[in-house]
Amino acid sequence: MASSAKLPLSLGLTYPETLAEGMETVVQLWQADLDEASVLLKGQVSGPAWNDASLAWLLTTHSTGDESAYGSRVGEADVTRFRATIDLFAQMDNRFGGQHARKALIQYLATDGVRLLRGQVTDKTKRCLFSAVSEATLLSAWMSYDSGLHSLAQRYFIQALGLAQAANDRLLAGSILDAMSHQATFVGRYREAANLAKVARQGTAGVAPPTLTAHFHVMEARALARLNDSAACDRALAEAVREFERRNPDDDPEWIRYFDDAELAAEFGHCFRDLGRPAGASQYAAQCLGTGNDGTYLRSDFFATMVLADAHLGAGEAEQACRVVLDALRLGEQLSSARCASYLREFAVRLAPAGTSAALKDFHEEAAQFALWQQVAAAQ
């Protein structure tokens, strides 16, 4: 194991050529993350790394038999317990934000995840194991992304992709590329984001269920909306609807079943906001929020509420926008998420030209009572 001071800058940024390489790389990443290696926590994302990884995935096939096993025997029961534990971390991520339990997840992976990867596994169990560890590494990526640790998140995404390929899990791999596209849009790499969504669709053509294909189209649309390519965005959204209307949730992998009518409406809301269509953005955001979410996806509710606020602001309704933001801030009291703070920063920038009416002054005074708004104010 390399010490934090000696870690290569490229650790985790290269798609693994062999399963053994991928296993060792992800183990090193977990440990370096726990050691708070600055190269991981302070680095920037790499555009070429996304492109190289997606191309390598399209062209490379891993064997599940080239790893060296020297630990204790690992069976299906071990994998089941591992999955159940990861599911608990995923629930905490959705409800409380990625920063809440991210380090605890990495600690768990650096112990039990390593034990499973280095254990003796039957051929019957191998694919289940690699798929489970890939999903766990994907969750590591999402939680790191939500924590604002974008270079680290990118590395986890790439290694999760390699593990999904080792599991021969084409659908999971496509979902990982889809997640990479989401991050790329967030950090302003819109062309790369659109391309990653296209690769996900291309690499799963003929095997992906309509729900998953619809999400690929939506991720491409999100990137195109940020590029202000309204015609291409509208086409991508139309394709998403066409696929979504064909879906049968019973045929979907468990991890994509969250993508329902409310989630689709939320994605439309984001796209319409970014295209400067406040009426449509308001309609879809309100549709998303009107489904009676039970709080399981609290962070998603926060994002949709912020899109609704942005839509009101885009329509010239600054005071109504501020009232909606206060609703978002109340939701945000339970969340520990750098992405949530980013949504608020964008809103604050858009709000600035609205002036300093008495109502806006009252808003700033009330918003200042919330921790998330305090973060935004401190950064300005």
Q: What is the pLDDT of residues 236-282, one digit of tens each?
A: 999 999 999 999 999 999 999 999 999 999 999 999 999 999 999 99
Q: Kindly give the pairing relationship between strand 73-74 and strand 120-121.
A: parallel
Calculate mean pLDDT across residues 92-98: 95
- Alpha-carbon distances of 167 from 51, 125, 129, 135, 172, rounded to whole Å: 22, 10, 8, 11, 9
Q: What is the pLDDT of residues 296-317, one digit of tens each?
A: 899 999 999 999 999 999 999 9
**318 has a pLDDT exceeding 70:** yes
Provide the pLDDT for residue 80.
98
Provide the pLDDT for residue 167.
95
Q: How far apart are CA 61 and CA 40, in angstroms?
A: 28
CB 208, CB 174: distance < 8 Å: yes
Give me Rg for the CA atoms of the chain: 21
Q: How far apart are CA 135 and CA 117, in angstroms?
A: 14
Calculate mean pLDDT across residues 47-54: 96
- Alpha-carbon distances of 188 from 30, 53, 129, 343, rounded to whole Å: 27, 19, 34, 14
Which residue(s) pair with 18 in the sheet? none
Which residue(s) pair with 74 in the sheet? 121
Provide the pLDDT for residue 56.
96
Q: Which pTM value belongs to this model?
A: 0.95
**71 has a pLDDT exceeding 80:** no
CATH architecture of 262-380: Alpha Horseshoe (1.25)
Q: How far apart are CA 257 and CA 170, in angstroms?
A: 17
Which residue(s) pair with 73 in the sheet? 120
**365 has a pLDDT exceeding 60:** yes
Provide the pLDDT for residue 43.
86
Provide the pLDDT for residue 32.
96
**What 8-state DSSP symbol labels residue 14?**
S
Calculate mean pLDDT across residues 33-38: 93
Q: What token pair was written down for 164?
A: 């999904």
CB 28, CB 11: distance < 8 Å: yes
The overall average pLDDT reported for the chain is 94
Cα angle 158, 163, 165 (rounded to 5 degrees) comes to 95
Calculate mean pLDDT across residues 141-146: 98
pLDDT level of residue 376 (50, 70, 90 thresholds) = confident
**6 has a pLDDT exceeding 90:** no
Q: Coil, helix or strand for 60? A: coil
Q: How far apart are CA 199 and CA 229, in angstroms?
A: 19
Q: How far apart are CA 46 and CA 189, in angstroms?
A: 10
> DSSP states of 247-264 as a string?
--GGGS-GGGTT--HHHH
CB 177, CB 57: distance < 8 Å: yes
Calculate mean pLDDT across residues 94-110: 97
143, amino acid identity: M
CB atoms within 10 A of CB 368: 11
CB 119, CB 73: distance < 8 Å: yes
Q: What percent of the chain has pLDDT over 90?
A: 87
Q: What is the pLDDT of residues 52-64, one digit of tens each?
A: 999 999 998 655 5
Q: How far apart are CA 90 and CA 142, in angstroms?
A: 10
Instruction: Locate the domains of the chain by residue range.
Output: 1-65+74-168, 170-259, 262-380
Q: How far apart are CA 67 and CA 84, in angstroms?
A: 25
Where helices occur in the chain by DSSP H, the ranges are 19-34, 38-41, 47-59, 76-96, 98-108, 114-117, 123-146, 150-166, 170-186, 190-203, 210-226, 230-244, 261-274, 278-289, 298-314, 318-332, 338-351, 358-367, 371-379
**1 has a pLDDT exceeding 50:** no
- Alpha-carbon distances of 207 from 105, 135, 191, 200, 326, rounded to whole Å: 31, 19, 25, 11, 44
